[in-house]
Amino acid sequence: MKILITGGNGFVGQNLDCFFQKHSQHSIVCAARSPQSTSSGFLSLDLDSDFNISAQLADVDVIVHCAARVHLMQDNASNPLAEYRRVNTTGTIELARQAADAGVRRFIFISTIKVNGESTPCDIPFQAAVARPPEDPYALSKYEAEQGLLALAKESGMEVVIIRPPLVYGLGVKANFNSMMNCVKKGLPLPLGAIENRRSLVYVGNLVDLIVTCLDHPGAVNRTLLVSDDEDVSTTQLLKKIADAMGRKSRLLPIPSKYLLLLTKVLGKAAVGERLCSSLHVDISETKSCLQWTPPYTLDEALKLTVRSKK
């Protein structure tokens, strides 16, 4: 089987390529806007431009589409939605159309749980059905790409699989999760010891395992699949588990969420407070059932692998 991974320079793409090189006999090509030298072949692909890679797709069996204009907390573009749409919607659908015309059998699209929304009630998890289109520009661009891909699947017969992960972490993760680990490593006291929310995360190894399962599983055809580690935690519990994985003592101050939310609002960081205190958990029972799949790594195992560079 020949597999094309877009976004081959990204966190998920690199981990997926690494897995295939270690555990698979598949032929792998990685595509990126600025391809780096990898053990796989690589292809230049800029979704933010007119591109035509039909010739390179002629012998590809499956595309795993990880490339995207990523979510930015403070997007300074004059029209963020247009910027996201150009890459995440128009670029994705054009790539899929070229793939269908070239005879690619299956197109696996890595979307985002933000398509469902930014948060959940503590006792009602997200499921695959979306009540209404999201308002966030990044999430809306992904939602519109999903709709376009499913329409193309009906029109062309190419199989489409949509995967919506929540926050993805693992060795080498950056952004907020990395900042959280650094705070724990330094032993900084954090006012996060009394948060009673529920958050779903997914270890990159679990996400890669699901993608590999979806390469040829008949139960994945034209489905939207939610994924997580299948173990929800509060922000407080997560910080304690990170500290345990590092062999360190957590230093968490038991500040009630309502005061933390008020403080972050006063400081102009209301969005940060919401992310720390709100719930976002997903129901992966349908994914497990239709694919006969369970995450191979537990949350504790995954965190130990993630913090190796921080000890």
Is 218 strand, coil or helix? Answer: helix
Identify the residue whose tokens are 């555990």: 23
- N-to-C CA span, the chain: 39
> Phi/psi at 255 (nearest 5 deg)?
-90, 120
Q: For residue 256, which of 279, 284, 272, 236 has the smallest C-alpha distance? A: 236
**Does residue 276 contact residue 235 with C-beta atoms inside 8 Å?**
yes
Whether 138 is catalytic: yes
Q: For residue 208, which of 169, 181, 178 has the smallest C-alpha distance? A: 169
How far is the C-alpha of 164 from the C-alpha of 191, rounded, in Å? 31
For 148, 157, 158, 160, 167, the CA distances from 154, given in Å and listed in that order, are: 10, 6, 8, 9, 30
Q: Name the catalytic one among 138, 169, 203, 297.
A: 138
Task: Give the bridge partners for 44, in sequence order.
Answer: 32
Would you name the residues annotated as active-site residues?
138
